[in-house]
A = this chain, B = another copy of it.
């Protein structure tokens, strides 16, 4: 199997509309249209053609960028029509040759990113009030249908040719990789026996049956598609609470330097320790917050919470995709807790402000990326740090945290403290819908209410341990040894076992569409992506398109 991730230059997730190869974004007042029009010859990697509006990671990076810009740069948009720019096909899903030549890690990471983008589409609809709908104007298969499933309304052409389908099982011996099975059952609540038939039927379902089975919301003659879709979009846009006349915030190019094993942004920097497989990630607080929402808006992309969200987002995607051997991410912070708390007050104190809402939602998404990353995450809380409010979420997202009890020998910096702010009590729910504090104290939910009384206090190591906010608090004499041993022990374990363990321990409590997708569906997909029936020399994914027939081991596991 070609090792796509190592033989090629690193993937860059930064792009902008002027550079889009595969999407066309147009605007008509409160309605935007995002048309998929994939350039066959512009795959991210050599070796495959993106036929029939099929996609690879490069196509999805542009989709993610478009989604972000629609939210930040276009406050006036209340509805987004997702459709195809091709005449005869909506979308054939993920490119099969690309999957066939990709490493296991590449496939899994690709599916994770595409899943996160579809979840962000749903969040745009439900929380940003920028509601997505789909115009299925041609055959819509696999990942194409999964894209439609992530939107709130699906209109399909009734033309004898257009159908929705999930042909992965019969055609490729893998699962739909982007939440399709979960959304069929748990979002659209398709009856499971019908879903079973649908998912084993290459040609899919069209026309009235697709509506009766709840696979799409309406079918209309092809001639009436534009009119119907526009009308639905206007109806949805009319319900938005986004401001019609506000100025958007331009997501200006993100400054990043990579020099050797150091990656630096404005507020976030990262040092890679390749020998030990560790990334040390430090987030810095800024000097002072803007005085009010108008001042924050005037800062635009330089507004610290937005800048930090963008920097961490890019870093996480970079590390996941380009640094597979770095298995442990260690989070540190530096700066003044007061400034972080002041930003939190600004972010959360103006619930009607569209821009501040977007920034908070973006931070939420970035923190959730950490939750679902297949990397161990530790937080180190040291003198000079500012784990307060939004930045404290990094420590609460960690698998484990260490806080030094005392000062470092010979250093004048006062002992480390933590600080809770209002941001820790629901602003950034994790994928199970709970705040990280609530998820932490499943056994004693009353502790969360108690902690509300401590908002704004500086908690030293003893107080933080007593409050249950940190895992271990070694004193200054033991600190270096204990932390070093913990990092080295972690780095020595089997990466796969850690991934499975962390995925199992991170998502306690209630389940949501997202936990089902990342916790369960992804695990089955990962398993199948390892099975010879899919990826062996005679596996369905390998022989697809060669004319050869796949040869299955018939034993059920």
Query: Which parts of A375-421 form the interface with B (CB within 8 Å)?
Result: 375, 398-401
Shortest A59–chain B CB gap in Å is 22
- Nearest to A550 among chain B residues (CB) is B494
> In the complex, which residues of chain B have a beta carbon less than 8 angstroms from the beta carbon of A175?
497, 500-501, 504
Pair A506/B192 contact, Cβ less than 8 Å: yes
> In the complex, which residues of chain B have a beta carbon less than 8 angstroms from the beta carbon of A556?
105, 324-327, 374-375, 495, 499
* A206 interface contact, C-beta 8 A: no
Task: Give Cα A324 to B552, complex, Å.
Answer: 13
Query: Which parts of A11-36 form the interface with B (CB within 8 Å)?
Result: none
- Nearest to A470 among chain B residues (CB) is B193
* A7 interface contact, C-beta 8 A: no
> In the complex, which residues of chain B have a beta carbon less than 8 angstroms from the beta carbon of A508?
185-186, 189, 192
* A48 interface contact, C-beta 8 A: no
Pair B181/A501 contact, Cβ less than 8 Å: yes
Query: Which parts of A188-224 form the interface with B (CB within 8 Å)?
Result: 188-197, 199-200, 214
Task: Give Cα A240 to B510, complex, Å.
Answer: 30
Pair A468/B501 contact, Cβ less than 8 Å: no
> In the complex, which residues of chain B have a beta carbon less than 8 angstroms from the beta carbon of A186?
442, 508-509
- Nearest to A439 among chain B residues (CB) is B192
- In this complex, the member of A169, A505, A516 whose beta carbon has the largest number of chain B beta carbons within 10 angstroms is A505
Query: Which parts of A165-194 form the interface with B (CB within 8 Å)?
Result: 168-170, 172-175, 181-182, 184-186, 188-194
Q: A325-B556, A327-B556, A505-B192 in contact; A496/B185 too (CB < 8 A)? A: no
Shortest A192–chain B CB gap in Å is 5
> In the complex, which residues of chain B have a beta carbon less than 8 angstroms from the beta carbon of A195?
505
Task: Give Cα A554 to B172, complex, Å.
Answer: 29
Interface residues on A, range: 35 or more
Shortest A19–chain B CB gap in Å is 29
Shortest A86–chain B CB gap in Å is 28
* A519 interface contact, C-beta 8 A: yes
Pair A494/B196 contact, Cβ less than 8 Å: no
> In the complex, which residues of chain B have a beta carbon less than 8 angstroms from the beta carbon of A190?
443
Binary per-residue interface labels of chain A (268-288) against chain B in the complex, 1 for a CB within 8 Å, 0 otherwise: 000000000100000000000
Shortest A216–chain B CB gap in Å is 14
Pair B555/A105 contact, Cβ less than 8 Å: yes
* A239 interface contact, C-beta 8 A: no
Pair B442/A189 contact, Cβ less than 8 Å: yes
Q: A184-B505, A500-B524, A524-B504 in contact; A441/B554 too (CB < 8 A)? A: no
Pair B193/A401 contact, Cβ less than 8 Å: yes
* A462 interface contact, C-beta 8 A: no
> In the complex, which residues of chain B have a beta carbon less than 8 angstroms from the beta carbon of A472?
197
User: Which single member of B196, B197, B494, B503 contacts A552 (CB below 8 Å)?
Assistant: B494
Pair B181/A504 contact, Cβ less than 8 Å: yes
Pair B530/A531 contact, Cβ less than 8 Å: yes
* A471 interface contact, C-beta 8 A: yes
Task: Give Cα A375 to B555, complex, Å.
Answer: 10
Pair B327/A554 contact, Cβ less than 8 Å: yes
* A540 interface contact, C-beta 8 A: yes
> In the complex, which residues of chain B have a beta carbon less than 8 angstroms from the beta carbon of A516?
511
Task: Give Cα A505 to B499, complex, Å.
Answer: 24
* A128 interface contact, C-beta 8 A: no
Query: Which parts of A481-508 form the interface with B (CB within 8 Å)?
Result: 489-490, 493-506, 508
User: Which single member of B189, B200, B527 contacts A489 (CB below 8 Å)?
Assistant: B200
User: Which single member of B197, B471, B526, B527 contacts A197 (CB below 8 Å)?
Assistant: B471
- Nearest to A192 among chain B residues (CB) is B505
Pair A400/B197 contact, Cβ less than 8 Å: yes
28 sample A-B contacts, Cβ–Cβ < 8 Å, listed by A number: A105-B555, A105-B556, A173-B494, A173-B497, A174-B497, A175-B501, A184-B505, A185-B505, A192-B399, A192-B439, A193-B400, A193-B471, A214-B443, A325-B554, A325-B556, A374-B556, A495-B553, A495-B557, A497-B528, A499-B524, A500-B524, A500-B525, A500-B527, A503-B524, A510-B511, A523-B527, A526-B557, A527-B530
Counting from the closest, the 4 A-B pairs by CB-CB distance are A173-B494, A523-B523, A189-B443, A500-B524
Inter-chain pairs besides A188-B443, A196-B471, 7 sampled, C-beta below 8 Å: A109-B557, A175-B500, A189-B442, A196-B399, A196-B502, A496-B557, A499-B524
